[in-house]
Amino acid sequence: MSDLSALTATQLVAGYETGDFTPVEVTRAALERAAQTQERTNAFVRIDSEEALRQAEESAGRWRRGEPSGPADGVPVTVKDILLQRGGPTYKGSWAVGESGPWDEDAPSVARLRESGAVFLGKTTTPEFGWKGVTDSPRHGVTGNPYAPERTAGGSSGGSAAAVATGAGPLSLGTDGGGSVRIPASFCGIFALKPTYGRVPIYPASAFGTLAHVGPMTRDAEDAALLMDVISAPDPRDWSHLGPVPHSFRGALAGGAEGVRGLRVAFSPDFGGRVRVDPQVAAAVRSAVALLEELGAVVEEADPGFADPVESFHTLWFSGAARVTQAFSQDQRERLDPGLQEICADGAARSALEYLAAVDERMDLGRLMGAFHERYDLLVTPTMPITAFEAGVEVPEGSGLTRWTGWTPFSYPFNMTQQPAASVPCGVDGAGLPVGVQLVGPRHADALVLSASHALYEAGVAAQVPSAVD
């Protein structure tokens, strides 16, 4: 069954169609991997074995009748414990969330997967309310990296990344407000996409506002396209949803490597010298960019030219955190992650005028990037300037940094601009830790980002990243 754990969702669906194996066999293999790796990675806050096997049995019956419910029927899926999933609590990594429920509602992306016949294995770990770029919380502890458990999986969707990387289901739903699917994807050697804001419906609305996105975390870009075809469907609970998708994301991959030919690609290795990038990360990313050139892209080293918007991001982010905890009792506040307590206090002290000034900078940044993409189809950067550091801390020891935004300069700007951005594994450092390359497209160009990412996979970009499915 270990071989089944290594298959992508696309391969699993093909196997169900031919009868080579069943959803029950695949689910048992995924549950076995989840159990085997939980102590090492702490990827899960809950594993629902009995319910998963019941769903798998139902899926197997549909496949026997030739009546699958949708493109994800029978595929094991995990869900970040930020998103509602009926039938069990969504703790959001916090002791402030009680168990009483009623827990009778699915988030839109979860509901679409349920309608498609997916098999839900369990909920994955997150820092409290997804507030930081690593995954640890007072309630659920520290999530370790599948390649080196003493190092971080990244965050805030670190549990989802660890689950996908170790074979505990090929698909996971994550959230991304400042890099939270891309950071752990880079650290854990998987693929992730932060879609254009509004492309995937969100409910309940995030206190972090329109910074927060729901996105796929998968083995490769093809699986992400499959998942996007499911979760991008409209939901009336999200007033900001972009509406029906006029095309299939999987269909956009049909050109394979040819999908890159002629693309105008801007490569910014360090945001114009503003970001210090680890030399091994820089080398791996340059190799991925060279591969894009070999595939026919027209690559130019070019910087988008914006100043670091971190202070405006902090105003938006910290204010959102303060809003999350506004109604908490003193006892609840005292049990929060100390770092979360700090940013909540900071956010509560910022004025409405400061918030609106941050919105103004955000709009200026969006305008600048809109003009940039008039000249370039894609912007390529490192996903992270470093590889995974020690687990259980917000910033690398000895770095002199105070907040997680200090080591994520390539991710949060594109939450501010709402652009689609993907992380593709492109190599490892000397310690065998994965490196990611980030592909950023103009707003609404999700299919283009997926197509270019898929072309890189087809060309072998991830060949140097060993599987974490042992």
- The active-site residue out of 5, 116, 137, 156 is 156
156 is catalytic: yes
> What is d(CA 86, CA 92) in angstroms, rounded to the nearest whole number?
14
> What is d(CA 254, CA 251) in angstroms, rounded to the nearest whole number?
6
Record the tokens describing residue 280, joined without a space.
């091994």
According to DSSP, residue 39 is labeled: H
According to DSSP, residue 390 is labeled: B
State the CB neighbour count (10 A cutoff) for residue 369.
22
Alpha helix stretches (DSSP H) within 376-434 = 413-416
Alpha helix stretches (DSSP H) within 79-194 = 108-115, 158-166, 182-188
180 is catalytic: yes
Burial class of residue 406 in the structure, from the number of CB atoms within 10 Å of its CB (0-12 exposed, 13-18 middle, 19+ buried): middle
- The active-site residue out of 59, 80, 132, 312 is 80
With CA atoms as reference, report the closest residue to 73 among 29, 26, 34, 4.
26
Q: CB-based contacts of 170: which residues, under 8 Å, 6+ apart?
A: 7, 8, 9, 12, 75, 76, 164, 218, 219, 223
194 is catalytic: no
Measured CA distances, 406 to 169, 178, 420 (Å): 32, 12, 22
Burial 218-237 (b: 16+ CB within 10 A, else e): bbbbbbbbbbbbbbbbebee
With CA atoms as reference, report the closest residue to 363 among 301, 411, 406, 309.
309
> What is d(CA 151, CA 134) in angstroms, rounded to the nearest whole number?
10
- The active-site residue out of 5, 109, 180, 451 is 180
With CA atoms as reference, report the closest residue to 434 among 457, 467, 409.
467
Q: Which amino acid, 26?
A: V
- By annotation, the residues acting in catalysis are 80, 156, 180
